[in-house]
Amino acid sequence: MQALKKQVSNSIFSVVSELYGVNDDLSSDIYMMLEYPPDRDMGDLALPCFKFARLFRKAPAAIASSIAERLSLPGIVEKVCAVNGYLNIYISGMYYANKVIPEILEKGSDYGKTDVGKGKTVVLDYSSPNICKPFHIGHLGTTVIGHSIKLLHEFAGYRCIGINYLGDWGTQFGKLITAYRLWGSREEVEKGGIDLLVDLYVKFHEEAEKDPSLNDTARGEFHKLEEGDVENTKLWKWFKEISLKEYEKTYRQLDITFDSYSGESFYVDKVPALAKILREKGILKVDDGASVIDLSEYNMPPCLIFKKDGSTIYHARDIAAAVYRKETYDFDKCIYVTSSQQSLHFAQWFKVVELMGYDWYHRLVHVPYGTISVNGVKLSTRHGNVLLLRDVFAAAIEKVTEVINEKNPDLENKQETAEAVGVGAVIFYYLLNSRIKDSSFSMDEALSFEGNTGPYAQYTYARTCSILSKAEKTESTNIVLSAPEESEIVKTLSRFSEVTQKALNEYEPSYITRYILDICTAFNRFYHECPILSVENESIRTTRIAITKAVKTVLGSALHLICLKTPEKI
């Protein structure tokens, strides 16, 4: 579609140049101004001419009419209309068919890919849970948004390094060590696993409200951990091992792997070298016993590097991690997918990297996403208000299993399919809206399989597989479109590369999710209105089989880009 838009914009520019004598800069402007009308009756492309009114000193409607009278692209543009200041352009359905379908069938899963990332490396820091706490619904955002962004970069040819920057350091471990020694036992933790660790963490905060001195004890235990205390280090490693076993279960369900699990603790011994550079640059100051960097000149609060007791804080570890990653991977971009609540934190230490003189500071990218609540109530592990992701997935899988038992009880790989569809339902629900929007998670809505949902998209994919399994094994060399529904689905498929590039450029998986729904809507309309295997005319039948193959290919690729699996039978 991008090549087509370029052809159309060049032709419009030629007409405008002939009429009004404009400069070359307008060519790229016209390309960017071309938009997709909300209603297909308004054409395939539209050019709003309102911005030209001042430049050409004519009414937008007159400008649109003058362009419409002269614009001609034989074999590509079917007709052009000027309506209320818009230039509406209708592309020939046969142009789409003869260009798009053969290309999809030839390229297969490579259709829509670009090489914009060829020779470039991107490091992606996402998921990154705090150990000793199970995944809850709040972790879903960084995990699936981050992985989808990684898949989009891979699709564009980048070498991708996925890093799970575990939250495995900080005062919270002093709290957990204190709680374990006061109220826990090895036998109970071995039996209860990560849930027992959470119970101890919650109990610590309950007791600390009654006895604030517990907070001082916890800070002391963490300081001992930073100093390498043998017993505290053993406990910390044990807690981490328990956590990772739990996390791997969720990552398996999501089909996510990482290239590195180096958490905050890995960078603690790299902070002294960082502090040395900061002191040499004269930007590390002592303020009330703590070591900070003054950022008031940039309208930000100070960036804390060392606490009063000499313990490191996450600003320092994040900077040390960025320096290490640049030295190790020589990245072209390093992307951090975290809650928008951490935007100030990233702005602070990104600025510190710049002040340190690193010329790659502008390659650091924070991708924020909105906060999620449960039925309007803020999540809080310390207060025990969480909705565990494993419980959400289990409920979704159970519901899908019930549906399968009712409608397709003899389905092979029933449990595997139920997991793919159930987990997919939750992911799709989350990725349907813009990542930056705050949202309130509703179990009922997430697990509703009616309307614009993950199961609907996966079922549409399975439908294409079912049709193709019954179709004759012939290749259509002569595409003949005989119905508007055929043209509509082909036009929708033509937008795939453009949608993926937009999603990549804006770090926005929801563009893919909504595009998937466009494919499903267009294909199911085509399926219901256009007989595929039963139509007698061979040219029409082979054309419709080719369209179905193309839909399977593009829909499968799009589902993969938002972390959904593609079962061929449901």
pLDDT at residue number 280:
93
How many CB atoms sit inside 10 A of residue 208's CB? 19
pTM of the model: 0.91
Q: Are 89 and 472 in contact (CB under 8 A)?
A: no
pLDDT at residue number 203:
94
pLDDT at residue number 234:
97
pLDDT at residue number 119:
97
Angle at 521 between CA 255 and CA 36, to 5 degrees: 100
Q: How would you classify the pairing of strands 159-163 and 285-287?
A: unpaired
27 HSE (CA, 13 A, CB side): 10
Q: Are 33 and 70 in contact (CB under 8 A)?
A: no
Using CA atoms, how far apart are residues 477 and 234, in angstroms rounded to an integer?
A: 67
pLDDT at residue number 443:
75
Using CA atoms, how far apart are residues 399 and 307, in angstroms rounded to an integer?
A: 49
User: Which residues in the chain land under pLDDT 70?
Assistant: 1, 23-25, 375-385, 474-477
Q: Are 282 and 186 in contact (CB under 8 A)?
A: no
Using CA atoms, how far apart are residues 58 and 128, in angstroms rounded to an integer?
A: 56
DSSP 286: E
Angle at 308 between CA 303 and CA 312, to 5 degrees: 60
Using CA atoms, how far apart are residues 465 and 436, in angstroms rounded to an integer?
A: 35
pLDDT at residue number 226:
87
Helix (H) and strand (E) counts in the chain: 21, 13
pLDDT at residue number 61:
94
- φ and ψ at 458, to 5 degrees? -70, -35
pLDDT at residue number 240:
95
User: How far is Cα of residue 549 from the mean position of the Cα atoms in its chain?
Assistant: 26
Q: What amino acid occupies position 106? A: E
Strands in 285-287's sheet, in edge-to-edge order, are: 285-287, 290-293, 303-306
pLDDT at residue number 376:
63
All domains in the chain, ordered by first residue: 2-91 (3.30.1360.70), 389-561 (1.10.730.10)
